[in-house]
Amino acid sequence: MSKKTEPLPTESELRLALSDKWVNRLKRLPILVKSTSERAKTTHLKSTYFDTPDKELAAAGINLRIREIGRRKLQTLKIGSGWQAGITERIELEGWVNDDQPALELIHAPEIRDLLTRNGLWERLQPAFVTDFRRNSRIVSYSGRFGDALISADLDIGEIRSGTRKAPICELELELKTGTPTALFELAHAINDDVPVRIEYRGKAMRAGELQVPSEPKPTKGRRPALARGSRINESAVAILKACQTQIAANEFPILESMAPEGPHQMRVAVRRLRAALGMFRAFGDMELIDRIRAEGKWLAGSLGEAREWDVYISDLHDPVELALGTDIPALKDLRALAQARQEAGYRDARAAVASSRFTSFQLELGLLIESLSHGRGKTVFDHLARSEEFAATKLEKRYRKVCKMGRTALLGDTIAKHELRLEMKKMRYAAEFFASLFDPRKAKTFSRTAARLQDLLGYANDYAVCIRQLESLVVPATGADAPDLLKASGMIIGWHGAEMARADHEIEDAWNRFLDAGRFWPKKSRSAA
Protein backbone atom coordinates (compact mmCIF):
# COMPACT_ATOMS: atom_id res chain seq x y z
CA MET A 1 0.00 0.00 0.00
CA SER A 2 1.38 3.40 -0.98
CA LYS A 3 2.07 5.90 1.76
CA LYS A 4 -0.42 8.73 1.96
CA THR A 5 1.10 12.09 1.01
CA GLU A 6 0.82 14.69 3.75
CA PRO A 7 -0.65 18.02 2.62
CA LEU A 8 1.84 20.83 2.36
CA PRO A 9 1.53 23.64 4.92
CA THR A 10 -0.37 26.70 3.72
CA GLU A 11 -0.94 30.24 4.93
CA SER A 12 -4.04 32.42 4.63
CA GLU A 13 -3.51 36.14 5.06
CA LEU A 14 -5.18 39.43 4.26
CA ARG A 15 -2.92 42.46 3.70
CA LEU A 16 -4.16 45.95 4.50
CA ALA A 17 -2.29 49.12 3.52
CA LEU A 18 -2.65 52.28 5.57
CA SER A 19 -1.21 55.78 5.83
CA ASP A 20 1.58 56.20 8.38
CA LYS A 21 -0.48 58.94 10.09
CA TRP A 22 -2.87 56.22 11.32
CA VAL A 23 -0.20 53.91 12.77
CA ASN A 24 -0.42 55.07 16.38
CA ARG A 25 -4.20 54.91 16.36
CA LEU A 26 -4.06 51.39 14.94
CA LYS A 27 -1.71 50.27 17.70
CA ARG A 28 -4.22 51.48 20.30
CA LEU A 29 -7.31 50.11 18.57
CA PRO A 30 -9.50 48.39 21.21
CA ILE A 31 -10.53 45.54 18.90
CA LEU A 32 -6.84 44.56 18.65
CA VAL A 33 -5.59 45.51 22.12
CA LYS A 34 -8.46 44.06 24.16
CA SER A 35 -8.63 40.80 22.17
CA THR A 36 -5.31 39.49 23.45
CA SER A 37 -3.85 38.81 26.88
CA GLU A 38 -0.28 39.45 25.77
CA ARG A 39 1.49 42.65 24.87
CA ALA A 40 2.50 43.25 21.29
CA LYS A 41 6.01 42.14 20.33
CA THR A 42 8.26 44.24 18.11
CA THR A 43 10.87 42.58 15.89
CA HIS A 44 13.31 43.92 13.29
CA LEU A 45 13.06 41.83 10.12
CA LYS A 46 15.40 42.12 7.16
CA SER A 47 14.78 39.81 4.22
CA THR A 48 16.64 39.15 0.99
CA TYR A 49 14.51 37.80 -1.84
CA PHE A 50 16.01 35.66 -4.60
CA ASP A 51 15.18 35.18 -8.26
CA THR A 52 16.86 34.55 -11.60
CA PRO A 53 17.92 37.51 -13.79
CA ASP A 54 14.85 36.81 -15.94
CA LYS A 55 12.48 36.74 -12.92
CA GLU A 56 11.49 33.11 -13.47
CA LEU A 57 10.35 32.60 -9.88
CA ALA A 58 8.09 35.66 -9.98
CA ALA A 59 6.60 34.46 -13.27
CA ALA A 60 5.80 31.11 -11.63
CA GLY A 61 4.19 32.72 -8.58
CA ILE A 62 7.08 31.75 -6.26
CA ASN A 63 8.71 33.83 -3.53
CA LEU A 64 12.01 32.68 -2.02
CA ARG A 65 13.60 34.67 0.78
CA ILE A 66 16.09 34.46 3.64
CA ARG A 67 14.99 36.50 6.65
CA GLU A 68 17.30 37.66 9.43
CA ILE A 69 15.61 37.20 12.80
CA GLY A 70 18.06 38.26 15.47
CA ARG A 71 21.17 36.16 14.86
CA ARG A 72 19.31 33.41 13.04
CA LYS A 73 18.32 33.12 9.39
CA LEU A 74 15.04 31.61 8.19
CA GLN A 75 14.48 30.48 4.61
CA THR A 76 10.89 30.70 3.38
CA LEU A 77 9.46 29.58 0.06
CA LYS A 78 5.91 30.55 -0.86
CA ILE A 79 4.16 29.18 -3.90
CA GLY A 80 0.60 29.37 -5.11
CA SER A 81 -1.93 31.21 -7.18
CA GLY A 82 -1.77 34.28 -4.98
CA TRP A 83 -4.78 36.09 -3.58
CA GLN A 84 -8.33 34.94 -3.99
CA ALA A 85 -11.16 37.23 -2.93
CA GLY A 86 -8.51 39.40 -1.27
CA ILE A 87 -6.88 36.59 0.72
CA THR A 88 -3.49 35.26 -0.19
CA GLU A 89 -3.53 31.47 0.04
CA ARG A 90 -0.16 29.84 -0.65
CA ILE A 91 1.97 26.83 0.21
CA GLU A 92 4.65 27.86 2.69
CA LEU A 93 7.86 25.89 3.31
CA GLU A 94 10.32 27.07 5.97
CA GLY A 95 13.62 26.04 7.53
CA TRP A 96 16.68 27.56 9.23
CA VAL A 97 19.86 28.12 7.19
CA ASN A 98 23.44 28.77 8.19
CA ASP A 99 24.44 31.39 5.63
CA ASP A 100 23.06 33.90 3.13
CA GLN A 101 22.42 31.41 0.32
CA PRO A 102 19.20 29.41 -0.20
CA ALA A 103 19.37 25.70 0.71
CA LEU A 104 17.66 23.32 -1.69
CA GLU A 105 17.72 20.47 0.84
CA LEU A 106 15.07 22.29 2.91
CA ILE A 107 12.54 21.86 0.12
CA HIS A 108 11.28 18.28 0.50
CA ALA A 109 8.26 18.32 -1.82
CA PRO A 110 9.43 16.46 -4.97
CA GLU A 111 7.23 18.43 -7.42
CA ILE A 112 8.51 21.75 -6.09
CA ARG A 113 12.16 20.57 -6.13
CA ASP A 114 11.71 19.48 -9.74
CA LEU A 115 10.35 22.90 -10.65
CA LEU A 116 13.22 24.72 -8.93
CA THR A 117 15.98 22.61 -10.48
CA ARG A 118 14.59 22.46 -14.05
CA ASN A 119 16.94 23.88 -16.69
CA GLY A 120 19.49 24.92 -14.06
CA LEU A 121 17.13 27.43 -12.46
CA TRP A 122 18.46 26.98 -8.92
CA GLU A 123 22.05 27.69 -9.98
CA ARG A 124 20.99 31.00 -11.55
CA LEU A 125 19.36 32.40 -8.40
CA GLN A 126 20.68 35.72 -7.14
CA PRO A 127 19.55 38.44 -4.70
CA ALA A 128 16.70 40.43 -6.28
CA PHE A 129 15.56 42.90 -3.62
CA VAL A 130 15.50 43.54 0.14
CA THR A 131 12.73 44.32 2.61
CA ASP A 132 13.69 46.00 5.86
CA PHE A 133 11.01 46.73 8.46
CA ARG A 134 9.96 46.58 12.07
CA ARG A 135 7.06 44.25 12.84
CA ASN A 136 4.64 44.90 15.69
CA SER A 137 2.82 41.59 16.31
CA ARG A 138 0.00 40.36 18.48
CA ILE A 139 -2.34 37.34 18.45
CA VAL A 140 -5.99 38.40 18.33
CA SER A 141 -8.86 36.22 19.48
CA TYR A 142 -11.82 37.16 17.31
CA SER A 143 -15.46 36.03 17.43
CA GLY A 144 -17.36 36.73 14.24
CA ARG A 145 -20.74 35.94 12.73
CA PHE A 146 -19.39 32.81 11.08
CA GLY A 147 -17.27 31.46 13.94
CA ASP A 148 -14.24 32.06 16.18
CA ALA A 149 -10.66 32.48 15.05
CA LEU A 150 -7.12 33.21 16.19
CA ILE A 151 -5.45 35.80 13.99
CA SER A 152 -1.90 37.12 13.94
CA ALA A 153 -2.04 40.89 13.42
CA ASP A 154 1.37 42.06 12.16
CA LEU A 155 1.99 45.76 11.57
CA ASP A 156 5.01 46.25 9.26
CA ILE A 157 6.75 49.65 9.00
CA GLY A 158 9.83 50.02 6.82
CA GLU A 159 10.85 49.92 3.17
CA ILE A 160 11.50 47.83 0.08
CA ARG A 161 14.88 48.36 -1.64
CA SER A 162 15.66 47.32 -5.17
CA GLY A 163 18.92 48.68 -6.53
CA THR A 164 18.87 52.43 -5.99
CA ARG A 165 15.07 52.58 -5.75
CA LYS A 166 13.01 52.23 -2.60
CA ALA A 167 9.35 52.25 -1.57
CA PRO A 168 7.78 52.55 1.88
CA ILE A 169 6.07 49.67 3.68
CA CYS A 170 3.15 50.50 5.94
CA GLU A 171 0.75 47.61 6.09
CA LEU A 172 -1.12 45.30 8.45
CA GLU A 173 -0.99 41.58 7.73
CA LEU A 174 -3.81 39.52 9.20
CA GLU A 175 -2.77 35.86 9.13
CA LEU A 176 -5.23 33.14 10.05
CA LYS A 177 -3.94 30.74 12.72
CA THR A 178 -7.17 28.85 13.48
CA GLY A 179 -10.73 29.21 12.19
CA THR A 180 -12.08 30.11 8.75
CA PRO A 181 -11.02 33.03 6.50
CA THR A 182 -14.37 34.76 7.04
CA ALA A 183 -12.92 36.06 10.31
CA LEU A 184 -10.14 37.89 8.45
CA PHE A 185 -12.69 39.94 6.53
CA GLU A 186 -14.86 40.62 9.58
CA LEU A 187 -11.87 41.81 11.61
CA ALA A 188 -10.58 43.92 8.71
CA HIS A 189 -14.01 45.50 8.31
CA ALA A 190 -14.10 46.38 12.01
CA ILE A 191 -10.61 47.93 11.74
CA ASN A 192 -11.63 49.95 8.67
CA ASP A 193 -14.49 51.49 10.66
CA ASP A 194 -11.91 53.27 12.86
CA VAL A 195 -8.71 53.33 10.80
CA PRO A 196 -8.97 53.81 7.00
CA VAL A 197 -7.26 50.94 5.20
CA ARG A 198 -7.33 49.38 1.77
CA ILE A 199 -6.76 45.83 0.63
CA GLU A 200 -3.18 45.47 -0.59
CA TYR A 201 -3.31 42.97 -3.43
CA ARG A 202 0.30 43.60 -4.33
CA GLY A 203 2.66 41.63 -2.12
CA LYS A 204 6.12 42.91 -1.28
CA ALA A 205 7.61 40.90 -4.14
CA MET A 206 5.20 42.40 -6.66
CA ARG A 207 5.87 45.91 -5.41
CA ALA A 208 9.60 45.29 -5.71
CA GLY A 209 9.08 44.18 -9.30
CA GLU A 210 7.27 47.44 -9.99
CA LEU A 211 10.25 49.33 -8.56
CA GLN A 212 12.62 47.49 -10.90
CA VAL A 213 10.50 48.02 -14.01
CA PRO A 214 8.20 51.03 -13.39
CA SER A 215 5.10 51.05 -15.55
CA GLU A 216 1.63 52.60 -15.60
CA PRO A 217 -1.02 50.16 -14.34
CA LYS A 218 -3.14 48.79 -17.17
CA PRO A 219 -6.93 48.32 -17.08
CA THR A 220 -8.01 44.70 -17.07
CA LYS A 221 -10.98 42.99 -18.70
CA GLY A 222 -12.92 40.32 -16.87
CA ARG A 223 -12.37 36.62 -17.50
CA ARG A 224 -15.02 34.00 -17.88
CA PRO A 225 -15.07 31.72 -14.84
CA ALA A 226 -14.16 28.08 -15.51
CA LEU A 227 -17.04 26.16 -13.94
CA ALA A 228 -16.88 22.42 -13.40
CA ARG A 229 -19.69 20.41 -14.93
CA GLY A 230 -21.65 18.56 -12.28
CA SER A 231 -20.60 21.01 -9.56
CA ARG A 232 -22.90 22.28 -6.83
CA ILE A 233 -24.42 25.71 -7.23
CA ASN A 234 -22.47 27.29 -4.37
CA GLU A 235 -19.22 26.20 -6.04
CA SER A 236 -20.25 27.94 -9.25
CA ALA A 237 -21.41 30.99 -7.28
CA VAL A 238 -17.99 31.27 -5.62
CA ALA A 239 -16.14 31.00 -8.95
CA ILE A 240 -18.36 33.64 -10.57
CA LEU A 241 -18.13 36.07 -7.66
CA LYS A 242 -14.33 35.65 -7.51
CA ALA A 243 -14.11 36.51 -11.22
CA CYS A 244 -16.07 39.72 -10.61
CA GLN A 245 -14.02 40.59 -7.54
CA THR A 246 -10.77 40.02 -9.41
CA GLN A 247 -11.82 42.42 -12.17
CA ILE A 248 -12.79 45.10 -9.64
CA ALA A 249 -9.47 44.79 -7.81
CA ALA A 250 -7.40 44.75 -11.01
CA ASN A 251 -8.80 48.13 -12.07
CA GLU A 252 -8.28 49.89 -8.75
CA PHE A 253 -4.81 51.26 -9.51
CA PRO A 254 -5.52 52.15 -13.17
CA ILE A 255 -8.19 54.50 -11.80
CA LEU A 256 -6.06 55.86 -8.96
CA GLU A 257 -2.87 56.36 -10.95
CA SER A 258 -3.87 57.08 -14.56
CA MET A 259 -6.45 58.63 -16.87
CA ALA A 260 -6.83 55.48 -18.92
CA PRO A 261 -10.47 55.43 -20.10
CA GLU A 262 -10.71 51.67 -19.77
CA GLY A 263 -10.10 51.89 -16.01
CA PRO A 264 -13.53 53.29 -14.99
CA HIS A 265 -15.15 51.37 -17.85
CA GLN A 266 -13.83 47.97 -16.78
CA MET A 267 -14.59 48.53 -13.12
CA ARG A 268 -18.16 49.56 -14.01
CA VAL A 269 -18.51 46.43 -16.13
CA ALA A 270 -17.20 44.38 -13.20
CA VAL A 271 -19.69 45.97 -10.81
CA ARG A 272 -22.60 45.37 -13.20
CA ARG A 273 -21.53 41.74 -13.61
CA LEU A 274 -21.28 41.42 -9.85
CA ARG A 275 -24.74 42.87 -9.22
CA ALA A 276 -26.22 40.56 -11.85
CA ALA A 277 -24.54 37.55 -10.22
CA LEU A 278 -25.67 38.56 -6.73
CA GLY A 279 -29.23 38.80 -8.01
CA MET A 280 -29.07 35.23 -9.30
CA PHE A 281 -27.59 33.77 -6.12
CA ARG A 282 -29.41 35.93 -3.58
CA ALA A 283 -31.52 33.07 -2.22
CA PHE A 284 -28.48 31.00 -1.27
CA GLY A 285 -26.41 33.35 0.85
CA ASP A 286 -26.85 35.90 3.58
CA MET A 287 -29.55 38.05 1.98
CA GLU A 288 -28.86 41.09 4.16
CA LEU A 289 -25.17 40.98 3.23
CA ILE A 290 -25.93 40.43 -0.46
CA ASP A 291 -28.39 43.33 -0.58
CA ARG A 292 -25.85 45.60 1.09
CA ILE A 293 -23.14 44.65 -1.43
CA ARG A 294 -25.54 45.24 -4.34
CA ALA A 295 -26.46 48.67 -2.96
CA GLU A 296 -22.80 49.63 -2.49
CA GLY A 297 -22.04 48.37 -5.98
CA LYS A 298 -24.71 50.73 -7.30
CA TRP A 299 -23.04 53.60 -5.41
CA LEU A 300 -19.63 52.69 -6.85
CA ALA A 301 -20.92 52.44 -10.43
CA GLY A 302 -22.59 55.83 -10.01
CA SER A 303 -19.35 57.35 -8.73
CA LEU A 304 -17.57 56.15 -11.86
CA GLY A 305 -20.38 57.13 -14.21
CA GLU A 306 -19.42 60.76 -14.88
CA ALA A 307 -15.87 59.83 -15.90
CA ARG A 308 -17.11 57.05 -18.15
CA GLU A 309 -19.83 59.13 -19.83
CA TRP A 310 -17.42 61.93 -20.74
CA ASP A 311 -14.85 59.38 -21.94
CA VAL A 312 -17.50 58.00 -24.29
CA TYR A 313 -18.57 61.45 -25.42
CA ILE A 314 -15.02 62.55 -26.32
CA SER A 315 -13.78 59.33 -27.96
CA ASP A 316 -16.96 57.97 -29.57
CA LEU A 317 -19.05 61.06 -30.30
CA HIS A 318 -16.91 64.20 -30.46
CA ASP A 319 -13.70 62.85 -32.04
CA PRO A 320 -15.41 61.21 -35.06
CA VAL A 321 -17.06 64.55 -35.92
CA GLU A 322 -13.76 66.45 -35.71
CA LEU A 323 -12.14 63.74 -37.80
CA ALA A 324 -14.86 64.04 -40.44
CA LEU A 325 -15.27 67.82 -40.49
CA GLY A 326 -11.72 68.85 -39.63
CA THR A 327 -9.95 69.86 -36.45
CA ASP A 328 -9.64 73.54 -37.40
CA ILE A 329 -13.17 74.54 -36.35
CA PRO A 330 -12.64 76.74 -33.24
CA ALA A 331 -16.07 76.10 -31.73
CA LEU A 332 -15.52 72.32 -31.83
CA LYS A 333 -12.17 72.78 -30.09
CA ASP A 334 -13.83 74.92 -27.43
CA LEU A 335 -16.57 72.34 -26.97
CA ARG A 336 -13.95 69.63 -26.56
CA ALA A 337 -12.12 71.71 -23.91
CA LEU A 338 -15.35 72.08 -21.94
CA ALA A 339 -15.95 68.33 -22.19
CA GLN A 340 -12.40 67.57 -21.05
CA ALA A 341 -12.92 69.74 -17.97
CA ARG A 342 -16.02 67.68 -17.11
CA GLN A 343 -14.03 64.51 -17.81
CA GLU A 344 -11.28 65.54 -15.40
CA ALA A 345 -13.86 66.35 -12.72
CA GLY A 346 -15.39 62.92 -13.27
CA TYR A 347 -12.01 61.28 -12.78
CA ARG A 348 -11.50 63.18 -9.54
CA ASP A 349 -14.83 61.82 -8.30
CA ALA A 350 -13.88 58.32 -9.45
CA ARG A 351 -10.50 58.44 -7.70
CA ALA A 352 -12.08 59.77 -4.51
CA ALA A 353 -14.60 56.92 -4.48
CA VAL A 354 -11.99 54.21 -5.11
CA ALA A 355 -9.61 55.69 -2.52
CA SER A 356 -12.32 55.85 0.16
CA SER A 357 -12.84 53.57 3.15
CA ARG A 358 -16.34 52.97 1.75
CA PHE A 359 -14.77 51.23 -1.26
CA THR A 360 -12.65 49.13 1.11
CA SER A 361 -15.75 48.15 3.09
CA PHE A 362 -17.47 47.14 -0.15
CA GLN A 363 -14.54 44.90 -1.08
CA LEU A 364 -14.29 43.38 2.41
CA GLU A 365 -17.98 42.53 2.50
CA LEU A 366 -17.71 40.93 -0.93
CA GLY A 367 -14.75 38.88 0.29
CA LEU A 368 -16.73 37.88 3.38
CA LEU A 369 -19.62 36.69 1.22
CA ILE A 370 -17.33 34.67 -1.05
CA GLU A 371 -15.56 33.00 1.87
CA SER A 372 -18.86 32.26 3.64
CA LEU A 373 -20.10 30.45 0.53
CA SER A 374 -16.73 28.70 0.05
CA HIS A 375 -16.81 27.26 3.57
CA GLY A 376 -20.45 26.22 3.58
CA ARG A 377 -21.62 29.13 5.71
CA GLY A 378 -24.49 30.07 3.42
CA LYS A 379 -28.00 28.66 3.37
CA THR A 380 -28.39 24.92 3.95
CA VAL A 381 -30.51 24.71 0.80
CA PHE A 382 -27.24 24.20 -1.07
CA ASP A 383 -27.32 20.61 0.09
CA HIS A 384 -30.56 19.98 -1.77
CA LEU A 385 -29.82 21.74 -5.02
CA ALA A 386 -29.43 20.22 -8.44
CA ARG A 387 -26.29 20.52 -10.51
CA SER A 388 -25.05 23.90 -11.70
CA GLU A 389 -26.07 23.04 -15.28
CA GLU A 390 -29.73 22.79 -14.33
CA PHE A 391 -29.65 25.99 -12.32
CA ALA A 392 -27.82 27.79 -15.15
CA ALA A 393 -30.23 26.56 -17.83
CA THR A 394 -33.19 27.80 -15.81
CA LYS A 395 -31.67 31.26 -15.32
CA LEU A 396 -30.56 31.55 -18.95
CA GLU A 397 -33.96 30.49 -20.27
CA LYS A 398 -35.69 33.08 -18.09
CA ARG A 399 -33.39 35.85 -19.34
CA TYR A 400 -33.65 34.71 -22.95
CA ARG A 401 -37.46 34.65 -22.99
CA LYS A 402 -37.63 38.11 -21.45
CA VAL A 403 -35.21 39.50 -24.05
CA CYS A 404 -37.16 37.91 -26.91
CA LYS A 405 -40.44 39.30 -25.60
CA MET A 406 -39.03 42.82 -25.21
CA GLY A 407 -37.25 42.73 -28.55
CA ARG A 408 -40.42 42.18 -30.58
CA THR A 409 -41.66 45.64 -29.67
CA ALA A 410 -38.52 47.51 -28.61
CA LEU A 411 -36.95 47.54 -32.06
CA LEU A 412 -40.00 49.36 -33.37
CA GLY A 413 -40.20 51.67 -30.38
CA ASP A 414 -38.48 54.80 -29.18
CA THR A 415 -35.06 55.33 -27.61
CA ILE A 416 -36.34 54.48 -24.13
CA ALA A 417 -37.62 51.08 -25.32
CA LYS A 418 -34.28 50.33 -26.99
CA HIS A 419 -32.46 51.40 -23.81
CA GLU A 420 -34.53 49.01 -21.70
CA LEU A 421 -33.83 46.20 -24.16
CA ARG A 422 -30.12 47.04 -23.99
CA LEU A 423 -30.13 46.74 -20.18
CA GLU A 424 -31.86 43.38 -20.38
CA MET A 425 -29.40 42.25 -23.06
CA LYS A 426 -26.55 43.06 -20.67
CA LYS A 427 -28.03 40.83 -17.98
CA MET A 428 -28.55 38.10 -20.56
CA ARG A 429 -24.99 38.37 -21.80
CA TYR A 430 -23.48 38.39 -18.30
CA ALA A 431 -25.39 35.22 -17.42
CA ALA A 432 -24.29 33.62 -20.69
CA GLU A 433 -20.63 34.42 -19.99
CA PHE A 434 -20.89 33.18 -16.41
CA PHE A 435 -22.25 29.77 -17.41
CA ALA A 436 -20.66 29.28 -20.85
CA SER A 437 -18.17 26.65 -19.65
CA LEU A 438 -21.00 24.35 -18.52
CA PHE A 439 -22.28 23.81 -22.08
CA ASP A 440 -21.14 23.53 -25.69
CA PRO A 441 -18.29 26.11 -26.00
CA ARG A 442 -18.77 26.58 -29.75
CA LYS A 443 -22.48 27.40 -29.44
CA ALA A 444 -21.82 29.59 -26.40
CA LYS A 445 -19.20 31.58 -28.32
CA THR A 446 -21.59 32.18 -31.23
CA PHE A 447 -24.34 33.25 -28.86
CA SER A 448 -22.06 35.70 -27.02
CA ARG A 449 -20.70 37.14 -30.26
CA THR A 450 -24.13 37.90 -31.69
CA ALA A 451 -25.38 39.23 -28.35
CA ALA A 452 -22.34 41.52 -28.07
CA ARG A 453 -22.90 42.93 -31.57
CA LEU A 454 -26.54 43.71 -30.81
CA GLN A 455 -25.63 45.23 -27.45
CA ASP A 456 -22.99 47.47 -29.06
CA LEU A 457 -25.46 48.85 -31.58
CA LEU A 458 -28.08 49.45 -28.91
CA GLY A 459 -25.33 51.08 -26.86
CA TYR A 460 -24.60 53.53 -29.65
CA ALA A 461 -28.27 54.53 -29.66
CA ASN A 462 -28.09 55.13 -25.91
CA ASP A 463 -24.81 57.07 -26.22
CA TYR A 464 -26.47 59.34 -28.79
CA ALA A 465 -29.34 60.08 -26.40
CA VAL A 466 -26.89 60.77 -23.55
CA CYS A 467 -24.80 62.94 -25.88
CA ILE A 468 -27.72 65.34 -26.42
CA ARG A 469 -28.07 65.76 -22.65
CA GLN A 470 -24.32 66.25 -22.26
CA LEU A 471 -24.16 68.92 -24.95
CA GLU A 472 -27.05 70.76 -23.33
CA SER A 473 -25.13 70.82 -20.05
CA LEU A 474 -22.15 72.38 -21.86
CA VAL A 475 -23.94 74.89 -24.07
CA VAL A 476 -26.85 76.15 -21.95
CA PRO A 477 -24.65 77.74 -19.24
CA ALA A 478 -22.45 79.39 -21.90
CA THR A 479 -22.61 83.16 -22.16
CA GLY A 480 -20.82 85.82 -24.15
CA ALA A 481 -19.78 86.05 -27.74
CA ASP A 482 -18.81 82.37 -28.01
CA ALA A 483 -22.24 81.02 -27.02
CA PRO A 484 -23.77 81.00 -30.55
CA ASP A 485 -20.73 79.22 -31.97
CA LEU A 486 -20.88 76.57 -29.22
CA LEU A 487 -24.56 76.04 -29.97
CA LYS A 488 -23.77 75.66 -33.67
CA ALA A 489 -20.96 73.19 -32.91
CA SER A 490 -23.25 71.09 -30.73
CA GLY A 491 -25.74 71.04 -33.60
CA MET A 492 -23.00 69.70 -35.89
CA ILE A 493 -22.36 66.82 -33.52
CA ILE A 494 -26.04 66.00 -33.00
CA GLY A 495 -26.76 66.22 -36.73
CA TRP A 496 -23.76 64.12 -37.75
CA HIS A 497 -24.62 61.32 -35.33
CA GLY A 498 -28.32 61.62 -36.17
CA ALA A 499 -27.48 60.58 -39.73
CA GLU A 500 -25.32 57.74 -38.35
CA MET A 501 -28.20 56.59 -36.15
CA ALA A 502 -30.47 56.23 -39.17
CA ARG A 503 -27.98 53.76 -40.66
CA ALA A 504 -27.49 52.05 -37.27
CA ASP A 505 -31.24 51.31 -37.03
CA HIS A 506 -30.98 49.03 -40.05
CA GLU A 507 -27.94 47.31 -38.55
CA ILE A 508 -29.81 46.78 -35.27
CA GLU A 509 -32.56 44.87 -37.07
CA ASP A 510 -29.98 42.67 -38.81
CA ALA A 511 -28.09 42.09 -35.55
CA TRP A 512 -31.36 41.12 -33.83
CA ASN A 513 -32.10 38.49 -36.47
CA ARG A 514 -28.56 37.09 -36.18
CA PHE A 515 -28.97 36.89 -32.40
CA LEU A 516 -32.20 34.92 -32.79
CA ASP A 517 -30.63 32.66 -35.40
CA ALA A 518 -27.77 31.82 -32.99
CA GLY A 519 -30.31 30.29 -30.61
CA ARG A 520 -29.79 28.74 -27.21
CA PHE A 521 -26.57 27.01 -26.15
CA TRP A 522 -28.24 25.48 -23.10
CA PRO A 523 -31.01 22.82 -23.03
CA LYS A 524 -34.41 24.44 -23.45
CA LYS A 525 -36.19 22.12 -21.08
CA SER A 526 -34.91 22.39 -17.55
CA ARG A 527 -36.11 21.81 -14.04
CA SER A 528 -36.91 24.85 -11.98
CA ALA A 529 -34.30 25.94 -9.52
CA ALA A 530 -35.31 27.32 -6.20
Which pTM was predicted? 0.90
Torsion, CA 116, CA 117, CA 120, CA 126, rounded to 10: 40
Q: Are 238 and 274 in contact (CB under 8 A)?
A: no
Parallel, antiparallel or unpaired: strands 126-144 and 198-199: unpaired
- Per-10-residue mean pLDDT for the chain, 530 residues long? 60 92 96 85 95 92 93 92 64 92 93 93 96 95 91 96 93 94 95 96 82 84 91 90 94 91 94 96 90 97 96 95 86 94 96 97 95 68 67 94 92 83 94 96 95 93 91 86 87 91 85 95 65
The total of other beta-carbon atoms located within 10 Å of residue 97's CB is 16
Domains and CATH numbers, the chain: 10-212 (2.40.320.10), 232-307+343-385 (1.20.120), 386-524 (1.40.20.10)
Contact between residue 105 and residue 75 where contact means Cβ atoms under 8 Å apart: no
CA distance 403 to 424: 6
pLDDT for 5: 58
In degrees and rounded to multiples of 5, residue 266 shows phi and psi of: -70, -35
The contacts of residue 121 (CB under 8 Å, 6+ apart) are 52, 56, 57, 115
In angstroms, the CA 18 to CA 136 distance is: 15
Single out the residue of 517, 403, 405, 515 nearest to residue 454, CA to CA: 515
Q: What is the predicted pLDDT for the residue at 527?
A: 45
Measuring CA to CA, which residue among 234, 226, 244 is closest to residue 286?
234
The pLDDT, as a whole number, for residue 370 is 93
**Closest of 298, 296, 223 to residue 266, by C-alpha:** 223
The total of other beta-carbon atoms located within 10 Å of residue 77's CB is 22
Q: What 3-state DSSP class applies to 520? A: coil
